[in-house]
Amino acid sequence: MSTRKFFFFDIDGTLAVGTPGQQYIPDSAKKAIQSLEEAGHFVAIATGRSYAMAVETMQKLGFKNMVSDGGNGITIDGQLLGIQPLDYDKCLRLIDECKNKGYIWAFSPDNTKRRLAPDHRFEDFTHDVYMETVVVDGLDPRDYDTIYKVYVACYTPEEEKLATLKELPWCRFHKEYLFVEPGDKSVGIKAIVDHFGGSYQDVVVFGDEKNDLSMFCDEWTSIAMGNAIDALKAKATYVTADAADDGIYKACQHFGWID
């Protein structure tokens, strides 16, 4: 075998195509990944989702390795090695500011499919079904030891009035609320490569969206899908075909990683 490489694939729009709830992995992508594994390469998914929200998808896709929690969670050979939470004090300051300014907030204190909220306003405002929102009367984040995510319900550009938000990584996937969550997948990628004593130059990443920008580094090979945003294509080592047009398979063929 040639030098063992470490492949990391984003999920939505990279591995999986189609509309939410009806997504599928192209047969060519499955074939490419199987061929990479048979050749002795390391394959993993790299997602911003929490471990609890991503582990079923990981298993369904046939993977045993994963970077989750936006780079802060590491799973190797089916075993979660750990999740680094957000900066606790900064999260407390953000929640305090939300309280003082009347912003609707919630947070996730553990690795589960739930978030906690002090009242029903978050659910009423967002109508979100991404994860369960549990209302806890008298909720105080200081009663919990860790904070993995914070959620702030507001429309753009209202978040600009939150000074403490500038101290934390955050992103917006829905118009009704934003996620305060880790946002550097390269941290988890490097942790996995270090675990195996590998070289960063043997890393290959595939992505398509804004939250993949952090893992498109000069230290390794970065491949943007044909359906990727322009900013990601500009950082890419190589731009392949669309995810639905055998993009993963074609890129692996282009570089000679598979026949």
Tens of pLDDT, residue by residue over 2-24, are: 689 999 999 989 999 987 667 88
For 143, residues 6+ apart whose C-beta sits below 8 A from its C-beta are none
Question: Which residues have C-beta within 8 Å of that of residue 98, sequence separation ≥ 6?
Answer: 104, 105, 152, 162
> Which of 48, 51, 144 has the alpha carbon at shortest distance from 92?
144
Amino acid 129: pLDDT: 85
Which domains occur in the chain, in start order? 6-84+183-254 (3.40.50.1000), 88-180 (3.30.1240.10)
Whether residue 205 contacts residue 225, with contact meaning beta carbons closer than 8 Å, is answered with no
pLDDT of residue 97: 98
In the block, which residue shows the tokens 């074609």?
250
Residue 235's pLDDT is 97
Instruction: Kindly report, residue by residue over 148-198, the tens digit of the pLDDT.
Output: 999 999 999 999 999 999 999 999 989 999 999 998 999 999 999 999 999
Point out the residues of the chain with pLDDT beneath 50.
none
Q: In 3D, which of 144, 168, 145 has the Cα closest to residue 87?
A: 168
Residue 64: closest CA among 74, 76, 54, 49: 76
Give the per-residue pLDDT at 2.
66
